[in-house]
Amino acid sequence: MAPFQQKTAVITGAGQGIGFEIARQLALGGATVILNDLEPALARSAAEAVKREGGVGYAFPGDASDVGFIREMVDFAAEKTGAIHVAIANAGITLFGPFLDFQPESLRKVMDLNLGGSFFLAQAAARQMVRQETGGSILLMSSVTGHLAHNNLVAYGMTKAALEMMARGLVAELSPHSIRINALAPGATLTERTLEDRDYRQTWSAITPLGKPATVNDIAQAALFLVSDVAGHITGQTLVVDGGWTVMGVQPGGG
Ligand SMILES: NC(=O)c1ccc[n+]([C@@H]2O[C@H](COP(=O)([O-])OP(=O)(O)OC[C@H]3O[C@@H](n4cnc5c(N)ncnc54)[C@H](O)[C@@H]3O)[C@@H](O)[C@H]2O)c1
């Protein structure tokens, strides 16, 4: 039987990149997927792509940093399919900027989506899972920048480190309800966004011990493992998927 048959999964920021690939693979595994994206056209084309491959997907466009919207999305998923089993807080914004010039508005944006959006998706999904009495699995999307310093990325890195503590901290309150919560920390990954930097592949190939950045498939495979029953006794953990980068820690540009 397909591993996610009769399961419903909500994924934020699933219009493209890592989130889309996770949603696509969950759908191929039998899940009904709710694909959120801030860009309505991206959410819709992602859901269409899932359907073209024989999956069941619903687009639910909107801002994953808006608590009211998050609650609507979770209610929609539960009403449409009867229950929610998997919630993936994937949407995150990467705002580069030197610390000495970083503006309050930029910090607020990063905190509201990366932290607030993830916190309240986890909360809304967990409330629903408790009501259903089914248990479930929540995945928070961290980053290697939550482990190692990266130039001009301190605000982003702070939020990612905090997400990993969120996963640890919630073990106490969610385990009694059979809800697992983990984090995934990708290293450099080839996506539509990162490939806008024409040097990205070459830069990260040179400094990644395995000689290449991750593909979205590398990250999706790890995500599927963590939210599947195969990982049924794993909670409060972070899985780093970075081709060995954090072990060696060579910075882009040397050092
Ligand atoms: N790509 C990488 O190298 C990399 C590395 C480590 C961690 N990550 C993390 O993985 C996650 C996905 O990364 P990616 O590079 O695939 O993402 P991305 O930047 O390509 O964004 C994916 C989607 O999120 C949507 N989005 C942006 N703001 C949103 C909002 N407020 N509400 C809903 N959707 C929104 C975008 O429209 C986009 O379609 C992020 O949390 C990111 O921080 C990515």
For 114, which DSSP code?
Answer: I
Q: So what's the pLDDT on residue 28?
A: 98
Instruction: Determine which one of 7, 58, 118, 156 is catalytic.
Output: 156
Percent of the chain with pLDDT over 70: 99
Query: Kind and range of the H or E element at 141?
Result: strand 136-141
Cα of 65 vs centre of ligand 1, distance in Å, is 12
To test the pocket of ligand 1, the residue of 94, 158, 195, 218 to mutate (highest count of ligand atoms within 8 Å of its CB) is 94
CA–CA distance from 221 to each of 21, 90, 145, 218 (Å)?
Answer: 9, 14, 21, 5
| Burial of 220 per CB tally in 10 Å (0-12, 13-18, 19+) | buried
Cα of 242 vs centre of ligand 1, distance in Å, is 17
How confident is residue 254, by pLDDT bands cut at 50, 70 and 90?
A: low
Q: So what's the pLDDT on residue 249?
A: 87
Cα of 60 vs centre of ligand 1, distance in Å, is 16
Q: Which CATH number fits domain 8-187+217-240: 2.30.30.830, 3.30.1330.10, 3.40.50.720, 2.30.30.30?
A: 3.40.50.720
For 240, which DSSP code?
Answer: E
Instruction: Determine which one of 137, 142, 143, 200 is catalytic.
Output: 142
Q: Identify the sign of the CA torsion 23, 236, 170, 176.
A: positive
Instruction: Determine which one of 160, 175, 200, 212 is catalytic.
Output: 160
Q: How far is CA 94 from the centre of its chain?
A: 13
Q: What are phi and psi of 54, to 5 degrees?
A: 90, 5
Report the chain's mean pLDDT, rounded to a whole number: 97
Cα–Cα distance for residue pair 255/237, rounded to 1 Å: 29
Query: Kind and range of the H or E element at 198?
Result: none
Is the pLDDT at 179 greater than 60, yes or no? Answer: yes
Question: Any catalytic annotation for residue 80?
Answer: no
Q: So what's the pLDDT on residue 253?
A: 81
